[in-house]
Chain A
Amino acid sequence: MKKTILIVEDELPMLKALADKFSLEGFEILEAKDGAEGLETAISKKPDLIILDIFMPVMDGKAMFEKLRQDAWGKTVPVIILTNLNPDDKTLEQLMKNGPSYYFIKSKWKLEELVSKVKKELGA
Chain B
Amino acid sequence: MPKQTNPQLVRRLKYFSEILGGMVFLVGLAALVGWQFDVIFLKRILPSLPIIAPNTAFSFFLGGIVLLLVASPKTGEKRHLKAVIYIFSSFIALVGFFTLLEYLFGVNFGIDRLLFSAAQGEAAVRMSPQSAFNFLMVGVSLLFIAGQEEKKVKVGQAIILLAGIVSLVSLFGFIYNISSFYTISPFKGMAAHTAVSFTMVFFSVLLIFPDFGFMRIFVIRGLSGLAARRLLFVLVCMMIAEVLATIGRRTNFYGYSFEILIHLVVILGSFVYLIFFAFRSLDELGKMETSLAKSQELDRSKTEFVGLASHQLRTPLTAISWYTEMLLKKDFGDLNAKQMDYLGEIYAGNQRMIDLVDDLLNTSRIDMGTLKIKPELVNLAEVMENTLNEFSPQLNQKNISIEKKFSRNLPLSKLDSEHLGIVFQNILSNAVKYTSPKGKIMVEMRRQNSHILVKIADNGWGIPAVQQKKIFTKLFRADNVRKRDTEGTGLGLYIARAIVKKSGGKIWFESKENKGTTFYITFKV
Question: Are the CB atoms of B323 and A17 closer together than 8 Å?
Answer: yes
A18, A20, A84 interface centre (most CB from chain B within 10 Å): A84
* B370 interfacial contact with A, CB 8 Å: yes
Partner of B319, one of A17, A24, A108: A17
* A40 interfacial contact with B, CB 8 Å: no
Q: Using Cβ atoms and an 8 Å threshold, which residues of chain B touch A110?
A: 321-322, 325
Partner of B357, one of A11, A14, A85, A107: A107
Partner of A106, one of B314, B325, B361, B372: B314
Q: Knowing A85-B311, A107-B317 are in contact, say whether A20-B361 is a contact too (CB < 8 A).
A: no
Q: Knowing A86-B365, A107-B354 are in contact, say whether A14-B372 is a contact too (CB < 8 A).
A: no
* B331 interfacial contact with A, CB 8 Å: yes
Q: Mark A49-69, 1 if CB is under 8 A from B, else 0.
A: 000000100000000000000
In Å, the complex CA distance between A24 and B333 comes to 12
Q: Using Cβ atoms and an 8 Å threshold, which residues of chain B touch A20?
A: 326, 331-332
* B residues 330-374 touching A (CB-CB < 8 Å): 331-332, 354, 357-358, 361, 365, 370, 372, 374
Q: Mark A84-124, 1 if CB is under 8 A from B, else 0.
A: 11101100000000000000001110111000000000000
In Å, the complex CA distance between A84 and B310 comes to 9
Question: Are the CB atoms of B374 and A13 closer together than 8 Å?
Answer: no
Question: Are the CB atoms of A14 and B318 closer together than 8 Å?
Answer: yes
* B300 interfacial contact with A, CB 8 Å: no
Q: Mark B461-502, 1 if CB is under 8 A from A, else 0.
A: 000000000000000000000000000000000000000000
Q: Using Cβ atoms and an 8 Å threshold, which residues of chain A touch B354?
A: 107-108
Q: Knowing A86-B361, A89-B372, A107-B357 are in contact, say whether A17-B311 is a contact too (CB < 8 A).
A: no
User: Smallest CB-CB separation from B329: which chain A residue?
Assistant: A112
Q: Using Cβ atoms and an 8 Å threshold, which residues of chain A touch B319?
A: 11, 13-14, 17
Q: Using Cβ atoms and an 8 Å threshold, which residues of chain B touch A89?
A: 372, 374
Partner of A107, one of B318, B325, B365, B372: B318
* A75 interfacial contact with B, CB 8 Å: no
Partner of B326, one of A17, A55, A107: A17
* B315 interfacial contact with A, CB 8 Å: yes
Q: How large is the interface on B (under 10, 10 to 19, 20 to 34, 35 or more residues)?
A: 20 to 34
Q: How large is the interface on A (under 10, 10 to 19, 20 to 34, 35 or more residues)?
A: 20 to 34
Question: Are the CB atoms of A107 and B321 closer together than 8 Å?
Answer: yes
User: Smallest CB-CB separation from B353: which chain A residue?
Assistant: A107
Q: Mark A13-31, 1 if CB is under 8 A from B, else 0.
A: 1100110110010000000
Q: Knowing A86-B365, A88-B372, A112-B329 are in contact, say whether A14-B322 is a contact too (CB < 8 A).
A: yes
Q: Using Cβ atoms and an 8 Å threshold, which residues of chain A touch B357?
A: 107
In Å, the complex CA distance between A106 and B332 comes to 22
A11, A18, A111 interface centre (most CB from chain B within 10 Å): A111
Closest approach, in angstroms, between the C-beta of A14 and any C-beta of chain B? Answer: 6
Question: Are the CB atoms of B311 and A84 closer together than 8 Å?
Answer: yes
Interface residues of B (CB under 8 A from A): 311, 314-319, 321-323, 325-326, 329, 331-332, 354, 357-358, 361, 365, 370, 372, 374
A89-B374, A108-B358 known; 16 new pairs, CB 8 Å cut-off, are A13-B323, A14-B315, A14-B318, A14-B319, A20-B331, A20-B332, A21-B326, A24-B331, A84-B311, A84-B315, A107-B354, A107-B357, A108-B354, A110-B322, A111-B326, A112-B325
13 CB-based A-B contacts, threshold 8 Å:
A13-B319, A14-B318, A17-B322, A17-B326, A20-B331, A21-B322, A21-B331, A85-B311, A86-B311, A88-B372, A107-B318, A107-B321, A108-B354
6 pairs of A and B residues whose beta carbons are closest in the complex: A13-B319, A84-B314, A17-B322, A106-B318, A107-B314, A107-B318
